[in-house]
Amino acid sequence: MLVDIVAISKNIYDEIIEKELKIANPIKVYDSYRTLQQVVKSSNLVANHYLALTFEEGFLQNSSFGSAIDKWKYFLNKDLNQLNEAVKQYLLTLYEIIMVSDKNSTFGEESILENYFNSKIYYNFVSREYSCGYVNSENLTLSMNVLVTLYDNQSYSILNKKEIDLSSYEKRKELKEHILTQIKELEQLEMKLKKYIQKKRSYVNNYSKKNVSFVVLTSLK
């Protein structure tokens, strides 16, 4: 879980920050920072709320949801749904970052995602099919429809279907630790992006003023 998010984020921000790729709409980089914050927040909720329970906890027993497992599924899927919405918003914000390209010695503008995916296929998949996870009603399996991490912008296949067995406490705890590891990676990217935005804030502010969407970046949290 979240491996695809970490991978594409590292690639995108490496291009923007390290390679200093020219961005036509820098305010969208700030938007990606804000939506990334929500991904981190929602990921922490999934990892630390209901995921790694034994099913013996008192608050799971004798509830209107039915069995302890039924209540666990309900609240975990609720947390996963919140994370999924945050991730989709973040991925769509990345899609909106426009780079200035000079392919074939001609200048143009296109989504920064074009270096990794066919942007139209990416947009449709993220909008309609992407899912960072939900627990099936029939069993204790977490099903995911996520992005591939081997990139080919000529490919029409960008779906990576995965399943994780959560039938034992050990496996649920293992997933929790995995998510916390991915969160650390995302937090590092978040801090890196924050420093970049603060460094470039005068450029972003000038762009924002011209587009009547001024954002005070000096108050980044």
Tokens of 210: 């011209």
Q: Is residue 215 part of a domain?
A: no
Task: Please state the rounded mean pLDDT for residues 130-142.
Answer: 95
**Phi then psi dihedrals of residue 143, to 5 deg:** -105, 140
Mean pLDDT of the chain: 89
pTM of the predicted protein model? 0.89
Q: Is residue 127 part of a domain?
A: yes
Task: Give the integer Cα–Cα distance in Å for 114 and 31.
Answer: 19
Q: Is residue 211 part of a domain?
A: no
CA distances from 47 to 27, 50, 75, 118 (A): 31, 8, 12, 32
One-letter amino acid at 210 equals: K
Residue 210 confidence class, pLDDT cut points 50, 70, 90:
very low
pLDDT reading at 221 higher than 80 = no
Contact 73, 172 (CB under 8 A): no
Q: Is residue 220 part of a domain?
A: no
Q: Is residue 96 part of a domain?
A: yes
Q: Is residue 212 part of a domain?
A: no
Q: Is residue 216 part of a domain?
A: no
Please give the tally of structural domains in the chain: 1
Q: Is residue 218 part of a domain?
A: no
Range of the domain at 34: 3-205
**pLDDT tens digits, 154-168:** 899 999 999 999 999
